[in-house]
Amino acid sequence: MNMPQEIANKLQIHQWSLSIAESCTGGLVSSTLTAIPGASSWFNEGIVVYTPRSKQNRLNISMEDILKHGAVSSYISKQLANHIRISSPSDLGIGITGNAGPNISDKSKLGDVYIAISSLNDELCNHYSFKGNRLAIQDQAVQATLKMLFHYLCEKQDFR
């Protein structure tokens, strides 16, 4: 199965739109999805908000929340997903934040990744603990995001 193509098909059939705010994946999820021909019919926006300051400036995530919860947290992941969904505007927003290393910072552990999906009436966030080097962690985060989005789309008939 070609998961990016299956995601594209589901979004296109239902005429749902998607936007993504990525941190630790550095735009890799957006790149993977926009490689699908016709992505402009369902992909609205993808941004890389790599630093706390960029999260604050681009998506209005408060620095107080970042300091309180940590940039790598379920709370911030959900905020990223919700804010990108609203600001784009899109039917679905995805927020990805994590620690791909090699340095450990914030309150997170190396390999910690949070992926959130936001819709008008629903919010979901998963925590992952990936292993390996920076590129391996990023790749696992991309694959987990695609799998999570695919399963979300399979379960939801309408979420607007």
Domain assignment of residue 160, yes or no:
no
The CATH number covering residue 104 comes to 3.90.950.20
CA distances from 101 to 47, 49, 136, 148 (A): 20, 16, 10, 23
Does residue 146 lie in a domain region? yes
Q: How many domains does the chain have?
A: 1
Residue 59 CA to residue 53 CA, distance in Å, equals 10
| Percent of the residues in the chain that have a pLDDT greater than 90, as a whole number | 86
Residue 112 lies in a domain: yes
What's the pLDDT score for residue 1?
77
Looking at residues 124-130, what average pLDDT do you find? 97
Residue 72 domain-assigned?
yes
Q: Is residue 134 part of a domain?
A: yes
pLDDT of 88 strictly over 90:
yes
Model confidence over 20-65: pLDDT tens digits? Answer: 999 999 999 999 999 999 999 999 999 999 999 999 999 999 999 9
Q: Is residue 53 part of a domain?
A: yes
| Domain span including residue 50 | 3-155
Average pLDDT, the chain: 93
